[in-house]
Amino acid sequence: MKFIKNSKMLDFLSAGVAIDLGTSNTLVYVKGKGIIFNEPTVVAINKKTDQLVAIGKEAKLIQDRSPSHIEVVEPLVDGVISDFEVAEEFLTFLISKVRQSVKSIVSPQILVGVPSGISNVEMRAVHDVIKNAGAREVFLVEEVIASALGSKLPVSKASASMIVDFGGGTTDIAVISLNGVVSSKNVKNAGEHLNEAIASYVRYQFRIHIGKQTAERAKVSLISTLSDSSKEITACGRDAASGLPREIVITDSDIYDAVSSHISTLTDDIKSVMEETPPEVLADIMKKGIHLSGGGALIPGLADLLKKELQVPVYVVSDPLHAVIRGLGIMIENLDSYQDFLIDYEKTFIT
């Protein structure tokens, strides 16, 4: 019996899979099928038995509500893997779900996005955990490239494009031209950090502790950079002095005060990337503008605020939440055409 050495045959027999492995949410795209998974990157583990109890939305529901022997873990922090074992459990579940969906007998090829600027060690962790979870081959690409592709920006042209991908764990800021990154910056200033800022503000101003889900709800409901809105929500937390439950009213002005420094820092970070960009390339950006993707792009008034501060047109891309997975999907559908975008393992990884 001869082993099949033709990779094209193996490609035909296996599924092509793209994974947007995010701090907040993970999306999975299967070649020819589209997005089949879009859920929080959260896993619940029974510490007594080491068994997986829940994953995704089910695990998120019991976060901050589970008994002591059930540990709810977010295996990614700031866009990189922080808990290797839990991340592997999470990805093993996803890959098994994919193989059931496509009835594949061969392990899949997997393309995964990574934040720009992560270290070789962090990149190796992503590669290894996906390989251990059941992938036949693993390919890495910078998320910001995928986001630009998914936003239909002309990344292969000599004319440069600038994109700001405001995600859950990190924000990628990049200028892209001729299939490569001209200048970029990856900052730990994103959706999860806004949640932490809101929880910290409420604790300081109201002397009350609120959970992650309450902070997230306040952010989604009230966040804005506009001054002419007037909204509020009721939230319940634990009184810092008495330890008893207490209800408070949080307004949109509270949320603005909580996150304004983060928005200001984001503006400064975008300016710093523009300052590092060659003048000829910067002229392209002045004409074409800056494109916002990721969940942060949905903040009301953010595009207008950045336009005012940066003196450059700023546009929110179509369906910004799915820009990265759309780009990864475009690549996995015809991976041979996007070899220039892939990260070269041999040159990047330390062996």
State residue 225's pLDDT score.
84
Q: Cα–Cα distance between 334 and 151 in angstroms, integer?
A: 17
CB 97, CB 37: distance < 8 Å: yes
State residue 332's pLDDT score.
96
Question: For residue 22, what are the CA distances in angstroms to 80, 126, 195, 198, 224?
Answer: 8, 12, 16, 21, 23
Pairing mode, strands 34-40 and 290-293: unpaired
Report the alpha-carbon angle 122-146-76, nearest 5: 35
Report the alpha-carbon angle 203-63-189, nearest 5: 55
Give domain 191-258's CATH architecture.
Alpha-Beta Complex (3.90)
Per-residue pLDDT of the chain (351 residues; tens, 9 = 90+): 333 344 554 554 467 999 999 999 999 999 999 999 999 999 999 989 888 899 999 999 988 888 889 999 999 998 889 999 999 999 999 998 888 887 766 788 999 999 988 889 999 999 999 999 999 999 999 999 999 999 999 998 888 999 999 999 999 999 999 888 899 999 999 999 999 999 999 999 999 999 989 999 999 999 998 766 689 999 999 999 999 999 999 999 999 999 999 999 999 999 999 999 999 899 999 999 999 999 999 999 999 999 999 999 999 999 999 999 999 999 999 999 999 899 975 555 443
Provide the whole-model pTM: 0.90
Give domain 7-40+77-146+323-348's CATH architecture.
2-Layer Sandwich (3.30)
* Structure token pair of residue 328: 């990864």
* Structure token pair of residue 215: 């902070």
Domain 7-40+77-146+323-348 matches domain 191-258 at the CATH topology level = no
Domain map (residue ranges) of the chain: 7-40+77-146+323-348, 151-189+263-320, 191-258
Residues 6+ apart with CB under 8 A from 59: 40, 42, 43, 44, 53, 72
State residue 107's pLDDT score.
84
Closest C-alpha among 279, 168, 298 to residue 223: 298
Residue with tokens 């405001």: 166
State residue 192's pLDDT score.
94
Q: Cα–Cα distance between 166 and 191 in angstroms, integer?
A: 8
State residue 149's pLDDT score.
96
Residue 80: helix, strand or coil by DSSP? strand
CB atoms within 10 A of CB 226: 13
**Side-chain half-sphere of 183: how many Cα atoms within 13 Å?**
16
State residue 8's pLDDT score.
53
Query: To which CATH superfamily is domain 151-189+263-320 assigned?
Result: ATPase, nucleotide binding domain (3.30.420.40)
Residue 101: helix, strand or coil by DSSP? helix
Measured over the CA atoms of residue 185, residue 20, residue 150 and residue 317, the dihedral's sign is negative
